[in-house]
A and B are shown apart, each in its own frame.
Chain A
């Protein structure tokens, strides 16, 4: 439902200016010619007569009609929509170069900057206690395979997508226009081919990880205290903390939006109107930029940022100390976890306490 609202909002963004421009282009029904004589509006004249009697005003009117998306006839259906100029295309191009390229670059830059700042301020998050040597299974083999499958496909699609979006700006000064042509054609075909593989990965991800990423009461506390940073006290969490859950749902929501819009762009014959493809492109790139910005932070935290995080996704196992320090509730509930000294003391006290 939220997705539909977003799509509707995006459509309104596109539809509103085009409606305004269409009104701006509307010609009066009757008006005076250059010499003050009455001129018949071109839509009331036979096309052949329009050509015979075309003056400056008539040509303007014809072009106004063209720019308003006036439909003609085509000799073959395979030629596409019988519209000479789709004026919304200019809006789409403007949205691509301003909203998507400019703000997209800001978004990616901000994400990278945030990671660098976090690294400078916090450094690598290391374990506070010694490792116990006891290992707990965190991710099954199928979870690990699906994660890395999606990661590889996402990286490939991200790089090829960024070449398509920013190639003209970044690559032309480096490799020239002919070089860009090679990069762009390679990126386009690779991107189109790998797209459906990404959609499969998103579905598999949802099936395997969805259950553990449903929100719980403790997640709210984690969010309110800024993961414990604001209070200075550790906030326990289950298998995934609120931050990880948010990232998961960002992946799923943007993944579904990227996949659905990407499939429409891949199989463009399914679209009934060119504007559908333009909206799909807008959704596709916006979703991808959000996902890439999030992935920059995710990759940092999953590798260099947090000690032991990468092990969990490679071997599937984490040290008990890591589990207790990062996902305490999950660690306590795990059958592989040995009782901590505190828990043992509590249990002992419970056993020895006199019955009331």
Chain B
């Protein structure tokens, strides 16, 4: 079973992830934007860059709102934590070196990994719970949002359960859920991992061209 999970199933999941992610990204990029008939008042590119990079912090007008701070802090905690764990946890670096790229990089120390994983877990839990108890967020949350959050949580959880690296079963369980996550990824809201710069850039350019901030 473990041979299947780490062999054919892994390559099948990876292929689905890569092919459909490229297909969806290509489709978004080739779709193009609306043709503008009015003359530009300011730079669209500057608006796009500002919206992608500068406006990632909460705006001054919202700084006094606890909800905004909560979403910003929990959001960054989860996303940055997950990103760091995904790319810099020692078992992941080993895996990337052996199964994907043929080379690796310096991983995080064990204590750094633990702290980062805890930050990511806290962020994800808080954001997911909010989807259930905030009436507005509950209304706009779809089944896909819960599946995406739940699957990500299970992948992280099985990863932390397999931390001892003593059990083949636990490693297989983690790998199995990672594969499920990869297959679900291109067809779900998880794909915002790749589309967020595009959507933010598009909005930023649109408003930047009109001379206003998105």
Q: A interface vs B, CB < 8 Å?
A: 141-142, 144-145, 148-149, 152-153, 181-182, 185-190, 193-194, 196-197, 200, 313-316
Contact = CB atoms under 8 A, between A and B. Distances in A.
Contacts of A313: 133
Given A141-B134, A190-B160, A315-B135, 7 more contacts: A142-B66, A142-B70, A153-B125, A185-B170, A186-B162, A193-B160, A194-B121
A190 B156 CA distance: 11
Contacts of A185: 164, 166-167, 170
A142 B117 CA distance: 23
Interface residues of B, number: 26
B133 A200 contact: no
B121 A145 contact: no
B92 interface: no
23 contacts: A141-B134, A142-B66, A145-B70, A145-B126, A145-B129, A145-B133, A148-B129, A148-B133, A149-B125, A149-B126, A149-B129, A152-B129, A182-B169, A182-B170, A185-B166, A186-B161, A186-B162, A186-B164, A189-B163, A193-B118, A194-B121, A197-B122, A315-B135
B12 interface: no
Contacts of A186: 161-162, 164, 167, 170
B-side interface mostly:
helix
Contacts of A316: 133
Nearest to B134: A141
A181 to B, nearest CB: 7
Contacts of A182: 167, 169-170
Interface in B120-172: 121-122, 125-126, 129-130, 132-135, 157, 160-164, 166-167, 169-170
A141 B67 contact: yes
Interface string B169-181: 1100000000000
B167 A181 contact: yes
B164 A314 contact: no
A144 B133 contact: yes
B28 interface: no
Interface in B72-125: 114, 117-118, 121-122, 125
A196 B126 contact: no
A273 to B, nearest CB: 23
Nearest to A186: B161
Contacts of B135: 315
Contact of B122 (A190, A200, A314, A315): A200
A196 B111 CA distance: 13
B118 A197 contact: yes
A186 B125 CA distance: 20
Given A149-B126, A149-B129, A186-B162, A193 B170 contact: no
A299 B182 CA distance: 36
Contacts of A145: 70, 126, 129-130, 133
With most chain B CB atoms within 10 A of its CB, the pick from A186, A188, A313 is: A186
B195 to A, nearest CB: 27
Contacts of B160: 189-190, 193
A145 B163 CA distance: 28
A185 B125 CA distance: 23
B117 A193 contact: yes
A142 B133 CA distance: 10
A181 B133 CA distance: 37
A185 B163 CA distance: 9
B74 to A, nearest CB: 9
A186 to B, nearest CB: 4
A185 B168 CA distance: 12
B169 A193 contact: no
Given A142-B70, A190-B161, A197 B121 contact: yes
Contacts of A194: 121
A216 to B, nearest CB: 28
B164 A196 contact: no
A141 B133 CA distance: 7
Contacts of B132: 148, 314
Nearest to B160: A193
A200 B167 CA distance: 30
A290 B160 CA distance: 27
A145 B66 CA distance: 13
A142 B157 CA distance: 24
Nearest to B129: A148
A196 B118 CA distance: 8
